Amino acid sequence: MKSIFKTLTLSLAAFALTASVQAGNITVKGSDTLVILAQKWAEVYMGKHPETKIQVTGGGSGVGFAALQNQTTDIADASRPIKAKEVEACVKTFGKRPREYKVAVDGLAVYVHNENAVKELSIEQLEGIFTGRTKNWKQVGGNDAPITVYSRENSSGTYEFFKEHVLKGKDFAASAQTMPGTAALLQAVAKDRNGIGYGGAAYGQGARALGVKKDADSKAIEPNEESVLNQTYPIWRYLYNYVNPALDKGEVAAYLNWIRSADGQKVVKDVGYYPLPEKLQEK
Query: HSE of 157 in the Cβ direction (CA atoms, 13 Å)?
Result: 33
At 177-214, the pLDDT tens digits run: 999 988 899 999 999 999 999 998 877 677 999 999 99
What's the mean pLDDT in 51-58?
96
Same domain, 169 and 263: no
Query: For the chain, what is the radius of gyration of the CA atoms?
Result: 20
Domain range enclosing 173: 109-234
Q: What is the CATH number of the domain that holds 147?
A: 3.40.190.10
In whole angstroms, what is the distance from residue 135 CA to residue 156 CA?
Answer: 24
The type of residue at 209 is A
Q: Would the pLDDT of 45 be above 80?
A: yes
The type of residue at 44 is V
pLDDT at 283: 63
Among 197, 219, 234, residue at a domain's last position: 234
Check: CB of residue 36 under 8 Å from CB of residue 28: no
Same domain, 158 and 219: yes
At 70-94, the pLDDT tens digits run: 999 999 999 999 999 999 999 999 9
Q: Would the pLDDT of 152 be above 60?
A: yes
What's the mean pLDDT in 164-168?
96
Q: How many domains are contained in the chain?
A: 2
pLDDT at 16: 43
263-269's contacts with Cβ under 8 Å and 24+ in sequence apart are 263/44, 264/41, 264/45, 264/103, 265/104, 267/37, 267/40, 267/41, 267/44, 268/37, 268/103, 268/104, 269/225
At 3-19, the pLDDT tens digits run: 443 444 444 444 444 43
Check: CB of residue 33 under 8 Å from CB of residue 239: yes
Same domain, 27 and 116: no
pLDDT at 209: 94
pTM, to two decimals: 0.83
Same domain, 117 and 152: yes
Q: Percentage of the chain surpassing pLDDT 90?
A: 84
What's the mean pLDDT in 46-57?
96
Same domain, 86 and 201: no
Q: Percentage of the chain surpassing pLDDT 70?
A: 91
What's the mean pLDDT in 39-47?
98
Same domain, 208 and 262: no
Same domain, 93 and 129: no
Extended beta strands in the chain, E state: 25-30, 53-57, 75-78, 99-107, 109-112, 120-122, 148-152, 177-179, 195-199, 208-209, 211-213, 236-243
Same domain, 71 and 162: no
**Helix, coil or strand: residue 59:** coil
Same domain, 213 and 272: no
pLDDT at 9: 41
At 95-144, the pLDDT tens digits run: 999 999 999 999 999 999 999 999 999 999 999 999 999 999 999 999 99
Among 200, 216, 234, residue at a domain's last position: 234
**Helix, coil or strand: residue 117:** coil
